[in-house]
């Protein structure tokens, strides 16, 4: 059916031009063909010719059909890159994003290899907890989510990335927690839902029709609900001097700062991502 990468890329451009710009389609083409054949972008640039097997043709056809339906590329191939690893993803979990990598890097830059107890709230694919475990094998890490389906994905990723014995996954609703640590944790990290429901109309269908709404949206009337509840939880669960790390809505940085300060946290810091947008907050529990 196809004789070269160029012909596959052109076919994808014809099929997907209503969803993506040409440059993005080219990047998608390289990622899909690496998934189908194992050949990297560099490989294809050195040798444009292809001779797909029948099974590879079948896989490519299914992936293209998923993309045409509006599924993001990561769901179409059930893979997402994060912190140098490949994570399995499906529509029960959010697609890991670069700004979340920056949050993980911030934690790793702040904290050394000393033994710590860490909790990842709303773990989704497990990308935060698993990445911390890969880089800090001495840490004791737990991760929770309200979704059984998400926990299946997170456990699968922990198993495939060989940290399954280093992370305890469990079901928990942080808005109504049943499990409570009593000043045992050194770190809590969370990338909670923070997109306003009113912003839904501004987002692409690839997001609104495929990524799990429960992991994305909060009511306009209470946009900081998860930060407030996790902040309250952290005051009980974190040790004195413990750290709380959040990913945040770029428009809500100062509001999250004020919330945490009013709750009694100290050394509350707002951090920008690589594009200069407010994206992360760190706070510390009082030591006296």
Query: What is the domain-level CATH number for residue 185?
Result: 3.40.50.150
- For 244, the 3-state DSSP assignment is strand
- Give the pLDDT band of residue 201 (cuts 50, 70, 90): confident
CB contact set of 177 (below 8 Å; sequence gap of 6+): 233
Q: Is 76 left (phi over 0), alpha (psi -120 to 50) or beta?
A: alpha
Q: Are residues 95 and 183 in the same domain?
A: yes
Domain span holding position 145: 79-284
- Give the pLDDT band of residue 1 (cuts 50, 70, 90): low
pLDDT at 117: 97
Domain boundary among 77, 97, 132: 77
Percent of the chain's residues with pLDDT above 90: 81
Q: What is the C-alpha radius of gyration for the chain, rounded to an integer number of angstroms?
A: 21
210-220 average pLDDT score: 94
Q: Are residues 136 and 189 in the same domain?
A: yes
Q: Are residues 29 and 65 in the same domain?
A: yes
Q: How far is CA 134 from CA 106, 115, 162, in A?
A: 15, 14, 9
Domain boundary among 59, 77, 95: 77
Q: Quote the CA–CA distance of 241 and 52 in Å, as a whole number.
A: 57
Q: Are residues 21 and 84 in the same domain?
A: no
Give me the residue label for tokens 């990468």.
5
Give me the residue label for tokens 């989704």.
124
pLDDT above 90: residue 284: yes
Please provide the average confidence, as pLDDT, over all residues in the chain: 94
Q: How far is CA 162 from CA 130, 134, 166, in A?
A: 9, 9, 9
- Give the pLDDT band of residue 19 (cuts 50, 70, 90): confident
- Dump pLDDT digits (tens) for 117-159: 999 999 999 999 999 999 999 999 999 999 999 999 999 999 9
pTM: 0.94
Give me the residue label for tokens 């670069």.
98
pLDDT above 90: residue 261: yes
pLDDT at 55: 92
Q: Are residues 190 and 63 in the same domain?
A: no
Q: Are residues 191 and 215 in the same domain?
A: yes
Q: Quote the CA–CA distance of 96 and 79 in Å, as a whole number.
A: 10
pLDDT at 182: 81
The DSSP bridge partners found for residue 269 are: 282
More confidently predicted of 150 and 201: 150
pLDDT above 80: residue 45: yes
Q: Are residues 195 and 71 in the same domain?
A: no
pLDDT above 90: residue 4: no
Q: Are residues 90 and 38 in the same domain?
A: no
Q: How many domains does the chain have?
A: 2
More confidently predicted of 45 and 1: 45
Q: How far is CA 105 from CA 108, 169, 263, 275, in A?
A: 5, 22, 26, 16
Domain boundary among 27, 44, 77: 77
Percent of the chain's residues with pLDDT above 70: 99
- Give the pLDDT band of residue 204 (cuts 50, 70, 90): confident
Least confident of 15-19, 75-79, 94-98, 243-247: 15-19
CATH number where 47 lies? 1.10.8.10
Q: Are residues 41 and 93 in the same domain?
A: no
């Amino acid at each position: 059916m196809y004789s070269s990468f160029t012909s596959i890329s052109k076919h994808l451009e014809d099929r997907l031009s209503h969803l993506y710009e040409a440059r993005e389609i080219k990047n998608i083409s390289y990622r899909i063909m690496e998934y189908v054949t194992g050949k990297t972008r560099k490989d294809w640039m050195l040798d444009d010719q292809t001779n797909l097997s029948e099974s590879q043709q079948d896989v490519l056809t299914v992936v293209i059909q998923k993309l045409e339906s509006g599924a993001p590329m990561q769901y179409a191939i059930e893979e997402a890159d994060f912190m140098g690893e490949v994570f399995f993803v499906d529509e029960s979990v959010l697609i890991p994003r670069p700004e979340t990598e920056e949050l993980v890097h911030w934690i790793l830059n702040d904290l050394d290899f000393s033994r710590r107890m860490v909790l990842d709230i709303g773990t989704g694919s497990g990308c935060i907890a698993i990445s911390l475990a890969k880089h800090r094998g001495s840490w004791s890490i737990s991760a929770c989510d309200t979704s059984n389906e998400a926990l299946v994905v997170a456990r699968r990723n922990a198993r495939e990335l060989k940290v399954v014995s280093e992370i305890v996954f469990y079901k928990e609703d942080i808005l109504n927690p049943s499990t409570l640590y009593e000043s045992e944790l050194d770190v809590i990290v969370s990338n909670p839902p923070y997109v306003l429901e009113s912003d839904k109309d501004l987002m692409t269908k690839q997001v609104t029709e495929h990524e799990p709404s429960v992991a994305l949206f909060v009511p306009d009337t209470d946009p900081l609900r998860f930060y407030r509840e996790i902040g309250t939880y952290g005051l009980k669960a974190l040790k004195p001097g413990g750290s709380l790390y959040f990913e945040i809505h770029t428009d809500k940085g100062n509001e999250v700062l004020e919330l945490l300060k009013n709750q009694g946290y100290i050394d509350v810091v707002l951090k920008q991502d690589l594009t200069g947008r407010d994206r992360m907050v760190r706070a510390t529990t009082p030591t006296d």
